Structures are given as structure tokens and as C-alpha cells.
A and B are shown apart, each in its own frame.
Chain A
């Protein structure tokens, strides 16, 4: 169904294509550079002039495995998945309730939820640390899961509420008149229509958790080390292990790219909002 009239004409099309390619190349160059560092021997790392051709080495990979960085990767992955899943399970009904039901002090409560997200993380991490130290949640998986849930839940509820508000209430009323119960209406009508919004928002929550450093650094420890916290360990007394850093950095990038790639369709629809049309 290519529409010849709407296609940019030859020379103009070429110009834009070139521009986009150049832009993409500039944006992707650091990633390419990091990828090349993964297999670059240490003596070629900062050689001047730059060595574009070298014999690739797997030394950096073996060092990273030896040092147990794959456990940090696993920790990060499980932590982010579990906390995001909990956020979706708890946050979806909460967002729906905020959007649909009348209750006393709803606006104040909502502002409070939003406020917990607005506060700088540094302000929150100290009370978190003190409380965790007292109840014994420091350096525990549960402790970090709870911490990530706290700041992601408010964000999730806040964003998903607007998705809920965009749903025409008539759909739920129509279902209610047909005789469906409130829970059934949520499952049959509301949830399927919110799916794109839920996917888009939870991917963002996952990425926030994945990239998080401060809480993981302060509340984690030897037992629970996430990937971002593990990276500084590569700054050693013998110098910075750049190749290993590139390996860990690239590894950290891959799950995020994979998630966005697989769920692209939902995310785009979710982020453009108003995807529900009768």
C-alpha cells in the first residue's frame, strides 16, 4: 500500500536518510566502542593512534566470571523482575481505584503518593538505612525488593491512573448491566484495555530498578550486590580494568534492550496513550 504521493521525493529522501544514519552512527558509536573494548587486549586499549584492528581476546570475560560478576547479574535480574511484578500486582488495582472510585481525601492521598516519588532519593535512603538496620533488612533481598517497590509503586500508580481515566466508563457500565461482577469486569474489560499501559509503565519501572545505584549501594552489601554496584569493584589498586568494565556494562545493557525490543509494540501504543477507541 505504498503511496507514491506521500513518499519523500528522491533527493529530499536521500538527505533525510543520510541525516538519520549519521545521527544513529553518532549515538551508537560509544556502544560500538564499548563492544570493541570487551575483546581488546589491554595493551591496545588506549594505544595512540587508535588500533582499529587487533587480535581479539576473551581474557576480560574470564576475569569477570572468575570474580563472580554473573551472580550480580542474576541478583539484579531477579530483584528487578520480582519488584516490578509486585508493583504491577499491587499498583494496577490501586491506580484503577484512584481513577474510578470516590473516597474521602483521595486527592490528598494521591499527592502523598506522588510526593514520595518527588523527594530526592538521597533524602529517603538515610531513613531507609536506619529503619533497615533496626529491623535487620540490610543486605537482604527482601529489603531491596521493598525499597525498589516503594519508589516504583508511586510512579506506576501515578502513570497508570491516567491510563485508567482514559478508559470510557460506559464500557464498565455496559458490562455491569450485562450482569458481570466488579471483579469480572476488571478482568474482562479493564485489564485487557490497560494492557499496553501496564506493559509500558512496568518496563519503565524495570529500567529504573535496573539502573538504580544509590539504594542498592547503601542497603545492599556482600550478600546482595546488584550489577551497577558491582562495577566500581573494577577500579582496583592495580588500575582500572577497562575491558572488564566494558563486559559488565554491555551485559547490563542487554536485558534492557531485549525487554524494549520484545515489548516495543505495547510500549509505543502505551506511551502514546489514548489507544482505546471504540
Chain B
């Protein structure tokens, strides 16, 4: 950890081999295992994973509120191991917003600028706060105390306190998780917009995989303290690296079907009881790499198509439930002791019949481009490239 400061090629954030354990009831509990990421200035990395995956701990380590057991953090080309939290220049937006309840909106936004080491004169600081409050449309609230604000307004104040700073790293820990869906949509775009164009690396942590895909230039998926995948939203969406990543993404998430591989007439076939899917192209090549016969087939809900029950190559199934959402519908189908979700058009949903066609037999088609094959033993994606 005390290696000499290495000059890096960029002066964003570099985290290498970050590990952390907490002991609970005398048992060490591994929270983070060798997480390594880099975020360039101006880049937004979305950090996602189920709750308890270690996102918050990772953010706290980057901010200097927690010490890693191993690993190094480098910010702006400087090793951070011995730099205390207050001198790292990390602007952190807490999940709970952490607004000072006894200070007004203005007082809250001014606080980081008044802190020792602030380079702005009081007049300049005032001006800066005014600009940011104006930008976030909360200028009229500046005399209010946080207790008198709505959730969305508090969130904006927290954002204002973040944006007045000129940090070396922006850290947003679940910034919009506690807002209702409508506000979440509104503020997600807004925050993204305010942060873009600033020459500062940003990390946005969220338990919502779809939120991560929509805000991040790149997305890092953490689960059980391990970095499962790091890539562009497109890569992660199209080629989830493991079943854990696949479970986290999509609304509804990818259907994961455990089954076996076999060969029939020279073709690779995925079988689970009555369900048989012939794998072709890249999937067939991917199947060659499986460590055993057991695999998991991931099928994207929007890839599955409906067909007549007796159509050739169609998989027979039964409609279990049918939920129309206005512009699309989610149909749950019974594949024989296994339920899978299909995202389909309203027209298709209505065509299933009265009462949503519950109990009706249908045929399903599984197109190759909508499927990913995972190794049954490791849960890692099998590549056919």
C-alpha cells in the first residue's frame, strides 16, 4: 500500500484490488473482494448490484470514510492511502441526503464552500450557490429548512451541495432510490444532464440495473462483493457476463432456465423436461465451451415470440397470467413446472383471448439473438465468438 506514487496516464479515479471485510459476531465477513475500476474525468460509471452487494462500502472507501483491508485508490494522479476524507476532494451525495437539519437550503449548499481549505471568497461562494440553486430551480426555497421540504426538493438540495463543489470525484450513493417513480424519472435525466460536461469522474451507485444502464457511460455490476462485469450499457445488456448480472437487468429480468445440453442429429439441443430448444450459430459454439452438460439458458422476455401451438419448432406452453401495462404486456407462461415471463405487445396480449387467455395452450419461439448461454457450474456466460 505504500508503493511510491505512480504517475498514471489519466488523472481520474483508479481503484485497484479493493478488499474489505467486516467482522460480525466474531466471523469475518467479506464485503468487497479485489474490486478494480478506473473512471476517466468526465466519465460517469454506474455502479449497480443488489442491496448488500457492497456498493455503499465501496463508495465509502473511495471517499475515505472507510479504510480498505487491501488495495489502493488513486485520484487525480495521487495515491489516497494516507489522505484523510476531508482532503480528498470527494463530493459525496448520501443515500439519506444527509442535509443539515438546522441549516437553511442556502446554508446547506454553502457549507462545503465555507469549509477550511475552500478557495472561494464569501462573495464568490454566495454567487456560486445562487447559480446552482437557480440551475436546480430551488432558489425560491433558499430560506427553508430541510424539514419543510418534500423528498424531491431535499434531493435537489443534496444535489446542489454536490454541484457547488469542484471535486476530484463525484460520488452519488443511490441518489434517487428513495423517490417515487415519477420523480425518479424526472431527476434521473436532470442529474445526468447537470453532471455531463464536467471534467470530473463520477460514480453513481444504484440497486436498479435499468437505472444504471440509462445513466452510465459504463456500468460496473457488483454482487457478493465481486466485480461481476464492467462494460458499456450495451455490452452488459446484450452480453451479461453471468447469471447474477442477468438477474439484475431488464424489466422483467431475463428468464433463466436450468437445463442440459445434448446432441440430436448433429445439432446441439438444450433440454429441460418438455422444453427443447435447438441451439444454432453462436449459441451452438458457446455450448462447446460448457464445463459439463448442465447449463443455464437465458432468454430475454422481449425476444420470445408467440406462434400457433402446433407450429414447427414452436415450444408448447400454457398461459399462466397476463398483465397489460398499456403500451406493452407481460405474459407469464407455464413451460411445465417452470414459469417464464414474456414481454409482448398489447395486440398480442389481447389476441390471447378473453380473460387474458389464462390456461390457453400456445406455442413459443426462442430466437437465437435473444438468448445467452451460461455455464451451469460457474454461472458465467459462455461466449460463442
- Chain A residues proximal to chain B, CB less than 8 Å: 168, 170-171, 173-181, 184, 189, 192-193, 276-278
Contacts and interface: CB of A to CB of B under 8 A. Distances in A.
B97 to A, nearest CB: 6
B98 A171 contact: yes
A189 B100 CA distance: 7
A277 B116 contact: no
Contacts of B98: 168, 170-171, 173-174, 278
Instruction: Kindly list the 5 A-B residue pairs having the minimum CB-CB distance in the complex, ordered from nearest.
Output: A170-B98, A179-B115, A178-B112, A179-B86, A174-B98
Given A184-B116, A276-B101, A278-B154, A176 B96 contact: no
Contact of A180 (B63, B64, B115, B146): B115
Interface of B: 63-65, 85-88, 90-92, 94, 96-102, 111-112, 115-118, 146-147, 154, 165
B102 A179 contact: no
Q: Which of A170, A181, A276 has the most CB of B within 10 A?
A: A170
Contacts of A180: 86, 115-116
Q: Which of B63, B86, B165 has the most CB of A within 10 A?
A: B86
A193 B87 CA distance: 25
Contacts of A170: 94, 96, 98
A178 B87 CA distance: 8
B100 A171 contact: yes
25 contacts: A168-B96, A170-B94, A170-B98, A171-B98, A173-B65, A173-B92, A174-B92, A177-B63, A177-B65, A177-B88, A177-B90, A177-B91, A178-B86, A178-B111, A179-B86, A179-B112, A179-B116, A179-B118, A180-B86, A180-B116, A181-B86, A181-B116, A192-B102, A193-B101, A277-B147
A193 B86 contact: no
Given A173-B92, A178-B112, 8 more contacts: A174-B94, A176-B85, A177-B91, A178-B111, A179-B86, A179-B118, A192-B102, A276-B101
Contacts of A179: 86-87, 112, 115-118
A125 B94 CA distance: 51
A177 B112 CA distance: 8
Contact of B86 (A168, A171, A176, A189): A176
Contacts of B102: 192-193
